[in-house]
Amino acid sequence: MHAPVTIRPISERGSLANAIVDTLVHRIGKDEQAARPHDWLAATILTVRNEIIERWMESTKAAHAAGAKRVYYLSLEFLIGRLLRDTLSNLQKTGEIAAALAELGVDLAEIEEIEPDAALGNGGLGRLAACFMESLATLDLPAYGYGIRYVNGMFRQRIDDGWQVELPETWLAHGNPWEFERRESAYFVGFGGEVTGNENGQVHWKPAEAVEAVAYDTPVVGWRGRRVNTLRLWSARAFDPIKLDKFNAGDHVGALAAQTRAETLVRVLYPADSNAAGQELRLRQEYFFSSASIQDIVRRHVQYFGDIRTLPDKAAIQLNDTHPAVSVAELMRLLLDHHDLGFDEAWEITKATFGYTNHTLLPEALESWPLPLFERLLPRHMQLVYAINAKLLKEARRREGIDDRAIAAISLIDEAGERRVRMANLAFAGAHSVNGVAALHTDLMKQTVFADLHRLYPDRINNKTNGITPRRWFHECNPGLCALVRDGIGEAFMDDAQALSALAPLAEDAGFRDRFAAVKRANKVALAQHLREAMGVRLDPDAIFDVQIKRIHEYKRQLLNLIETVVLYDQIRNHPERDWTPRVKLFAGKAASSYHNAKLVIKLANDVARRVNADPAIGGLLKVAFVPNYNVSLAEKMVPAADLSEQISTAGMEASGTGNMKFALNGALTIGTLDGANVEIRDHVGDENIVIFGLTAEEVAAKRAGGYVPREAIERSRDLAQALDAIASGVFSPDDPDRYKGLVQGLYDHDWFMVAADFDAYAAAQRQVDGRWADRAGWGRSAILNTANVGWFSSDRTIADYAREIWGVM
């Protein structure tokens, strides 16, 4: 904040301003003069939280009184980002709070910017969980999100000399005024030890160690404050925080060992995108939060409804990928060992309660745990997995046409090589619904990983195409466009994103197109200014802003984009006289810390940027920037400023994508493959308003099966071969000419992600983009039609589909 500030005397302030000051004094312990920006932020959040609490308790009471069925969304990740702007906007109190703060000499926008991002997720899967929580509250559905309160969450990315450096994210450094610690909601979670049985068949698991899971609740406010739900995140503590005997005997570190071990559980999220982190700690984390959540759900059910047998009528538990799949065995354990149900009845209750969402078909990302590890950590669950498996395989063997190969694929235990527990099979077997996240992905699930389980249970797999919340990804991140749309078609879209379709006729209105373009340009100017301040790069807001922001992964093919950038750079250098379309290529994304090639791609983006941006021969026609530390808040700045959305994954590999939806909603055209939800985006916006290129999923599979020779593809494309030569020979890395030799050699040797096979089609598609851009009216029409036609990708629609077809709550 800029001193000196003008603070109005108390008598001239409104009651809200005085309430904020009151909170500042009594909760933060500072007065107006001593308060620093973080103190104002905390005081504002606590004041806003006060407004929510009563609605929150009302929401809970009403659900209780109605005996309503509740939805439980279990996810190892919740990528929620900042909450202040979102909460104020959903409460429609932004103006009021801004005015109150202004009376105190505080700028709301400035304190919003210092709120840390709650980065409790890697990427799309975690962001989906956050959008779902907001839509559940918006649709007035009683729901709880369950996850882990990571102290450091996802790492913070710094770029040093072009390389990614991982730093701990310290989002809790100033405390977290949103949350309530619920000391009374604590559960015992055990690990290891042994299982004994008595003559009555009663089983007793005596864990060797245990921690206590403690709940932290964050309110989630739906649109128009209609309902407030709870995001319950678990922290861990030792039962005995300090062993006094050890401490007094001089072993000060040993005395605190149990507490340290407990804290380790909730320290960080493994930044594994699609290479399963094999760490024992990750399995511990998964069991820790699954067990606490299932215990909490069962406790609540018995408290409210008495009879555990009615659980499926009153609770729908959705497993967000396989990370919480051990919940299936945990619920079985509670039903058998604590509630004394018989196995078959317990199994029916379990299946009727769980739904499972699959997020990936990549074999390396399908979680499985070495059997000895699973057995050592969770001996009782191991027994239950065997018992479930016996039942499953017995059922399968009775079915015609299920041979030994199919039995081996269905089994919960992978017997090939080192024996492993397959979490996807456990989740599939233990759920009444198994859904994919886009139509193509769901089809591929049936054909590939779950082909045999699908034959056994043909009604179980269904599709629920992902969505995004239009509040955060349109109203809040793009207020200019939102105001223009309101001017054009009224307010109906604010409650129903599909009402955006009324915009379509305005695509023909030249005046509206100009205003639409002016909003986009203003967003680009704002982003350019932010990037100039943040990283010293100068961008021309009249260039095409071509944006690829997402986790760095070979299947997402940032490398394809970078090679095309190198080709374009070379062409502009050689023919500066031609009529080039000015372009800004923006990249952002984190690479998993152990993923060598992904980190090399970040370095390449920075090496290419350094060379291109400094070359006077191209007259500024091409600019490249890699923006550090991609997170929700950065996405909120970049998405509204994009003209072109890069969704160029190898077909068949991106389950859905949600970044693609955010860009289209904000009026960017997509350049993309027929992958994930791109297919459905094309269906909605129409062929003329999207640029599709490249191999289809079927063609990719056929090529892989039929001996694809990447060298031939490279040699057929002069541009590609030259660009690869340049990269491999050190044109962009004169300080270390061999830096990219291995990366390029990988393309010659196997090119698993078909970069070479798709290169020419991609480059041609980019030149088609240039042509469309030159036709300003045509581009404007397409941009408006993107916004108009993607309301279907609202997470409100997705959640309504889950609610009706999986959870039975609508």
Ligand X SMILES: *Cc1c(COP(=O)(O)O)cnc(C)c1O
Catalytic residues: 359, 550-551, 556, 658, 662
Contact 669, 779 (CB under 8 A): yes
Sheet containing strand 644-647, strands side by side = 622-627, 583-588, 544-549, 644-647, 669-672, 691-692
Pick the closer one to ligand X by CB: 582 or 657.
657
Pick the closer one to ligand X by CB: 305 or 555.
555
- With left for phi above 0 and alpha for psi between -120 and 50, is residue 5 left, alpha or beta? beta
Burial 668-689 (b: 16+ CB within 10 A, else e): bbbbbbbbbbbbbbbebbeeeb
| Length of the chain (residues) | 810
Which residue is at the shortest CB distance from ligand X? 659
Pick the closer one to ligand X by CB: 75 or 368.
75
**What are the C-alpha distances in Å from 717 to residues 379, 760, 761?**
57, 7, 11
What is the torsion angle, in degrees rounded to the nearest 10, for the CA atoms of residue 341, residue 343, residue 344 and residue 347?
90
Minimum Å distance from CB 127 to ligand X? 4
- At residue 208, the 3 state secondary structure works out as coil
Q: How far apart are CA 622 and CA 614, in angstroms?
A: 10
Q: What interhelical angle do 15-23 and 37-65 show, nearest 10?
A: 100
* Strand intervals (E) in 530-582: 544-549
Minimum Å distance from CB 550 to ligand X? 4
Pick the closer one to ligand X by CB: 154 or 621.
154
CA dihedral sign of residues 607, 608, 609, 611: positive
Q: How far apart are CA 643 and CA 668, in angstroms?
A: 5
**Which residues contact residue 740 at a Cβ distance below 8 angstroms, ignoring those fewer than 6 apart?**
600, 604, 727, 728, 730, 732, 733
Residues that bind ligand X (CB under 6 A): 79, 123-124, 127, 550, 630-632, 635, 657-659, 662
Q: How far apart are CA 55 and CA 338, in angstroms?
A: 35
Pick the closer one to ligand X by CB: 187 or 595.
595
Minimum Å distance from CB 123 to ligand X? 4
Minimum Å distance from CB 659 to ligand X? 2
Pick the closer one to ligand X by CB: 147 or 780.
147
Minimum Å distance from CB 99 to ligand X? 30
- At residue 195, the 3 state secondary structure works out as strand
Minimum Å distance from CB 606 to ligand X? 20
Instruction: Say which DSSP state 2 is in.
Output: P
Q: Residue 489 CB: number of other CB atoms within 10 A?
A: 18
Pick the closer one to ligand X by CB: 156 or 420.
156
Contact 485, 402 (CB under 8 A): no
Pick the closer one to ligand X by CB: 650 or 658.
658
Pick the closer one to ligand X by CB: 437 or 507.
437
The tokens describing 649, both together, are 């994954």
Minimum Å distance from CB 664 to ligand X? 12
Minimum Å distance from CB 657 to ligand X? 4
Minimum Å distance from CB 274 to ligand X? 11
Contact 712, 725 (CB under 8 A): no
Give DSSP secondary structure letters for 321-384: SSTTTHHHHHHHHIIIIIT---HHHHHHHHHHHEEEE-----GGGS-EEEHHHHHHH-HHHHHH
Minimum Å distance from CB 125 to ligand X? 8
- At residue 729, the 3 state secondary structure works out as coil
Task: Select from 34, 158, 49 the least CA-distant residue to 93.
Answer: 49
Contact 134, 795 (CB under 8 A): yes
Task: Select from 95, 138, 68 the least CA-distant residue to 496.
Answer: 138
Pick the closer one to ligand X by CB: 630 or 802.
630
- At residue 123, the 3 state secondary structure works out as coil
Task: Select from 253, 638, 194, 564 the least CA-distant residue to 379.
Answer: 194
